[in-house]
Each structure stands twice: as C-alpha cells, then as structure tokens.
Copies of this chain bind each other. A is one copy, B any other.
Amino acid sequence: MNRAEITEWLKDLQDRICSGLESLDGTARFTEQLWTREEGGGGRSRVIRDGDLLEKGGVMFSAVHGAAPAFLRNDASINPAASGEPAEFYATGVSIVLHPQNPFVPIIHMNIRYFEMGNKRWLGGGIDVTPHYVSVADAAEFHRSLRNMCDRHHTDYYNRFRIWADDYFFIPHRNETRGIGGIFFDRLTGNESMDFASNLEFWKDTGELFLRAYAPLTEQNRKKRFTEAHRQWQLQRRGRYVEFNLVYDKGTRFGLESNGRIESILVSLPPLAAWEYYFKPAEGSEEWKTQQLLRKGVDWENVR
C-alpha cells in the first residue's frame, strides 16, 4: 500500500469505528468537524457526547504534510543525513479516546499512525485500557485478545509491545501506571524482525481489533449500578488521566508545542475530572485494590 492507500484505509477505519461505536452506544451520534492545516493537510474530527454508554469520546483522523520541523530534520534516527536541510514529511493516523459514563466501564485509547520523511516510512500505534476499577478477568480477556492478534503476526510482538506500553503509560510522580496497559509500538519500518508489508498488516490489525477488544469491556459493566462514591472515584481516576496526558504524553506535548489543532489534541481530556487532596482509599476497598494493581509488569492472564 502506498501513502494514498493507507490514508484511505484509515478514513474507512474511522468510518467503521464510528458507526460501530454508535451501535454500541445506542443513543448518541458523532458530530463531525473538518479542518485544514495552513502548512498542509487537515483532518476529520468526530466527537460523541452524553450517550448511554459514552460520556465523551473522540475518534480523530488526520493527514498532514509539509516542511519537516527542525526537530525532525535534525533527528539522526529519522533522517539519516540529519543535515538540517529542508525535508518533507507526511503523517496520517487515527486516534481514539473514550470516556464512558459508568465507572465500571474503562477508559480506552487507540492510536495508529503512519509517517513518511524522505525515503523512509514507519508505523506506530497501540491500544491501552484505563479502568477506574480494575477487573482482573476483564484485564485478562483484553490482554488475551491483544496477544492473539499479535501472535498471528510475530511471536515476539505481544511481549515486546506490552512492556513498551507499561513503560510508556506510566505516571512517575504517582508511581503508578495509567491503567492496565495494552500494547504500544513505534517506528516499525521493515528493517527489524518483519518486512514493511508484514508490519503494515499487523498495524492494520491493531486498528481492526479496537472494536472487538472494547465491546466485551462494556457489555456487562455498563449495566452495573453505581453510587456517588463510585462516581467520585471515577472522577479522580480521570484526574490521573489528565496528569498523564498533559505532563507525559508525547503526542499531546508535541501537539501543544507545534501549534497543532488544539481542540483535537485535547479531546482526550475527560468531560469532568476531580482532584482530592490526600485521598487514601481504605485498605481492602475496591479503590485500594485497584491502586495495588496499577504497576508495571503484571501478567494479567495469570494474576492470582
């Protein structure tokens, strides 16, 4: 597939995911905004609000191009010449964050991106889940679906990319992971374990997996009754999500620093979030149990 074909495939994926999510939600519909970027390219932002399942969600497509900013031109790992000379880049992707209504349904994030500069091109992406309340059974099912998908492409990928996700979605100042992880990968070219075409198939499958991996996490959980205390905890966990995205997330910070479309970048932030000073859940409570599980390296399919 060339650049144009990949771009069309991503737009089609966005269409299919949006209509899948509308069916899943049952009541709300996405609204769309088209935008263009002065320096080249643009995007198709779709946001859903106040649904039966989803309190706020964004499914964003963009394809931007133009003169590569200095930090890209000068990065030897991207630009072998690293000459600082003018170069063109092309970047396209789909990015999703969903904040559900029910605290027992997790937040989910998916992103797949394709990047070209000069005669190089590579792929990045991942899916990860941030439960407000960790269900070990759900986490095992989610990771199993990721592992099965990865294993169809390369036997190393699940473990490599699961570890990468744990390291990436980590909040050092809280000493906790953002959630139960998932997979995260970047700069897949074709120079490593598989050729580009095979990596592209894996990358596409990551996008295809999204709805199948998310739906089971919503089915039972969205019907669970919850109290005001559960809701308060959800708002606090969303506060942590804000902390990660604004302080550590590379995509967000790159967007803020490179004058990206601010509304699309920050659509990942929750509709409502809370910060309580020195909130310590009672030992043994469900909130406490969740905190204990927010650490790197948990083998979710074998937690006792």
Q: Which A residues contact B (CB, under 8 angstroms)?
A: 33, 47, 49, 56, 58, 172-174, 235, 239, 242-243, 246-247, 253, 256, 259, 262-263, 265-267, 269-278
Q: Which residues of B contact A272 (CB under 8 A)?
A: 235, 272-274
A256 and B246 within 8 A (CB): no
A263 CB contacts on chain B under 8 angstroms: 277-278
* Nearest CB of B to A27, in Å: 18
Given A173-B262, A272-B273, 20 more pairs with CB closer than 8 A:
A47-B277, A56-B277, A58-B277, A173-B256, A173-B259, A174-B262, A235-B272, A242-B273, A243-B246, A243-B266, A246-B246, A263-B278, A266-B275, A267-B277, A271-B274, A271-B275, A271-B276, A272-B272, A273-B273, A273-B275
| Chain B min CB distance to A78 (Å) | 24
Minimum CB–CB distance for A29 against chain B, Å: 14
In Å, the complex CA distance between A173 and B58 comes to 19
- 27 A-B pairs (CB sep. < 8 Å): A33-B278, A47-B277, A49-B277, A56-B277, A58-B277, A172-B256, A173-B259, A173-B262, A173-B265, A174-B262, A235-B272, A242-B246, A243-B246, A243-B266, A246-B247, A247-B247, A247-B253, A263-B277, A263-B278, A266-B275, A269-B275, A270-B275, A271-B274, A271-B276, A273-B273, A273-B274, A273-B275
Give chain B residues whose Cβ lies under 8 Å from the Cβ of A278. 33, 47, 263
Residue of B nearest to A262 (CB): B173
Shortest 5 CB-CB distances between A and B: which pairs? A269-B275, A246-B246, A173-B256, A47-B277, A263-B278
Taking CB atoms, residues of chain B closer than 8 Å to A256 are: 172-173, 247
Residue of B nearest to A245 (CB): B246
Tell me the smallest distance from the CB of A271 to a CB of chain B, in Å.
Answer: 6
Q: With both chains docked as a complex, state the minimum distance between the C-beta of A285 and any C-beta of chain B, in angstroms.
A: 19
Shortest Cβ distance from A239 into chain B, in angstroms? 7
| Nearest-Cβ distance from residue A265 to partner chain B, whole angstroms | 8
Q: A174 to B246: give the CA distance in the assembly, Å.
A: 14
A273 CB, min distance to chain B CBs, angstroms: 6
Chain B residue contacts of A172, Cβ below 8 A: 256
A230 CB to nearest chain B CB (Å): 16
